[in-house]
């Protein structure tokens, strides 16, 4: 073959091979780019879905804190989320539709949920101090349910080998505080302090949401502990951090209620029918006209709410409430107005069948006290001896709401073009 023709053939073949290789390279590059874009789109879509889920979680977390508003656009993890909240009164008084959105780059995913918000009573524990529970005496806590009968009554298998009594272990002591005083040689100001010599807590110790090390936060001393271990090595019950704070709304005396004073002397009894009452000062158990000391009784025949705008003081052998149904009796100590500060003091051998709610006040327990109910206050200070039997039936007194639980009754991914 002629040399020039040979060179021309080789040149043509080289160009052809180069063209084929280039086409193949471009095809591989295009496929790789397409796969990269597909993977990126999948990642963005998965991230957007997670952000939409986060939007619903954030909204329901707000619900637990009594915030039922929509959530504005919030940046998170390279994208953003937001939620629209719509009440659905036709389905229930606290039923809501949530439309949660998540966006990452150009991809948006949307979720729909229908949820019910259920009120939580502020009476969740035998003793709850928003900022302080200071126990410096002998204390025993446990629980029962007055709807099933009196505390300690046998409920089943009463003549058998395994009788069941109306006594439970929901005797938690709790606070919203996330720290405690390290020095309790003086009056404690914050946290949970247990320094009595005979403590029997049938439940656990709850610190405020976000407490990093609840066991180390607990201030503890004393001996003969059948509740928390005095060495703080392995406490029984455990000290834990609550997932959400217990909300304590302020007390406002309803318009139209006149607050008067009520004094119940020894050997006197007052019975209140169901309803609302207000007293500036309610004092029980002082000696009678002859100086004699005996039981002073405040009885109720149905559900009552008693507002206190000054002081609640019960001493000597006072008995308060309905022994068969402690949940009938709820005291609400109004928020301080001006220089007036509400307080509650139970001393002597007082027996309380009911609950005290004092979100801005201190409740002081002294003497030998028996409580069949619950105390929720800004701070609780205890000396002497106290047996606190938490009445679980009080959870049904939800007119004072400490937050909400949320139940999802419907959930789906939503196509907003529908």
Average pLDDT of span 34-60: 85
Would the pLDDT of 177 be above 80? yes
Which residues touch 258 (CB under 8 Å, ≥6 apart)? 278
CA distance 204 to 125: 10
> What average pLDDT does the chain have?
87
Q: Does residue 129 or residue 12 have the better pLDDT?
A: 129
Confidence (pLDDT) at 229: 44
Beta-bridge partner residues of 408: 115
Let me know: does 224 contact 165? Beta carbons within 8 Å.
no
- Rounded Cα distance between 262 and 298, Å, is 11
Residue that has been written with the tokens 């080998």 in this structure: 161
The residue whose two tokens read 């590059």 is 29
Closest CA to 143 of 119, 162, 102, 171: 171
How distant, in Å, are the alpha carbons of 38, 261, 308, 312, 379 from that of 338?
66, 19, 15, 18, 20
Domain ranges of the chain: 3-119+404-413, 127-399
Structure tokens at 285: 């158990």
Which range has the worst mean pLDDT, 67-71, 374-378, 395-399?
395-399
- Domain spanning 3-119+404-413 has what CATH number? 3.30.1300
- Residue 417 has a pLDDT of 61
pLDDT at 233: 31
pLDDT tens digit sequence for 74-91: 999 889 999 999 999 999
Helix (H) or strand (E) holding 8: helix 3-64
If pLDDT is split at 50, 70 and 90, which confidence band does 390 have? very high
- What is the C-alpha end-to-end distance of the chain, expressed in Å? 74
Say which range, 257-261, 269-273, 336-340, 364-368, has the weakest mean pLDDT.
336-340
374 band by pLDDT with thresholds 50, 70 and 90: very high
Residue 43 vs residue 27, higher pLDDT: 43
72 burial via Cβ count (<10 Å: 0-12, 13-18, 19+): exposed
Give pLDDT, residue 413: 92
Beta strand 351-365 with 343-346 is parallel
Average pLDDT for 277-283: 95
For the whole prediction, is pTM greater than 0.95?
A: no
What mean pLDDT do residues 20-31 have? Answer: 68
> How many whole angstroms separate alpha carbon 226 and alpha carbon 260?
44
More confident call, 166 vs 11: 166
């Amino acid at each position: 073959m002629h040399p020039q023709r040979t060179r021309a053939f080789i040149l043509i073949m080289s160009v052809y091979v180069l063209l084929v290789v280039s086409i193949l390279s471009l095809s591989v590059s295009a496929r790789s780019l397409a796969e990269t874009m597909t993977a990126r789109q999948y990642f963005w879509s998965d991230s957007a879905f997670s952000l939409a889920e986060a939007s619903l979680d954030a909204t329901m977390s707000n619900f637990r804190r009594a915030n039922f508003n929509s959530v504005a656009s919030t940046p998170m993890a390279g994208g953003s989320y937001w939620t629209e909240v719509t009440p659905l009164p036709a389905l229930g008084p606290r039923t809501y539709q949530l439309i949660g959105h998540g966006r990452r780059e150009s991809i948006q995913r949307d979720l729909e949920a229908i949820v019910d918000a259920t009120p939580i009573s502020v009476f969740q524990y035998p003793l709850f101090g928003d900022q302080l529970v200071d126990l410096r005496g002998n204390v025993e806590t446990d629980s029962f349910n007055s709807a099933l009968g009196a505390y300690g009554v046998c409920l089943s298998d009463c003549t058998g080998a395994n009788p069941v009594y109306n006594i439970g272990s929901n005797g938690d002591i709790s606070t919203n505080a996330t720290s405690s005083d390290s020095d309790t040689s003086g009056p404690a100001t914050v946290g949970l302090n247990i320094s009595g010599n005979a403590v029997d807590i049938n439940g656990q110790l709850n610190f405020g949401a976000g407490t990093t090390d609840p066991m180390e936060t607990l201030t503890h001393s004393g001996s003969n502990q059948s509740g928390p271990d005095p060495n703080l090595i392995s406490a029984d019950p455990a000290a834990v951090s609550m997932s959400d704070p217990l909300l304590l709304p302020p007390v406002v005396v309803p318009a139209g209620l006149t607050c008067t004073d009520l004094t119940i002397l020894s050997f006197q009894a007052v019975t209140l029918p169901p309803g609302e009452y207000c007293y500036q000062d309610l004092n029980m158990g002082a000696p009678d006209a002859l100086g004699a000391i005996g039981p002073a009784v405040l009885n109720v025949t149905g559900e009552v709410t008693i507002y206190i705008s000054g002081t609640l003081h019960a001493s000597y052998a006072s008995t308060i409430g309905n022994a068969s149904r402690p949940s009938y009796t709820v005291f609400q100590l109004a928020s301080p107005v001006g220089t007036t500060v509400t307080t509650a003091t139970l001393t002597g051998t007082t027996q309380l069948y009911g609950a005290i709610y004092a979100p801005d006040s201190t409740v002081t327990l002294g003497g030998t006290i028996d409580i069949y109910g619950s105390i929720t206050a800004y701070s609780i200070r205890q000396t002497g001896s106290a047996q606190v039997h938490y009445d679980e039936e009080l959870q049904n007194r939800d007119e004072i709401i400490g937050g909400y639980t949320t139940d999802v009754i419907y959930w789906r991914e939503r196509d907003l073009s529908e």
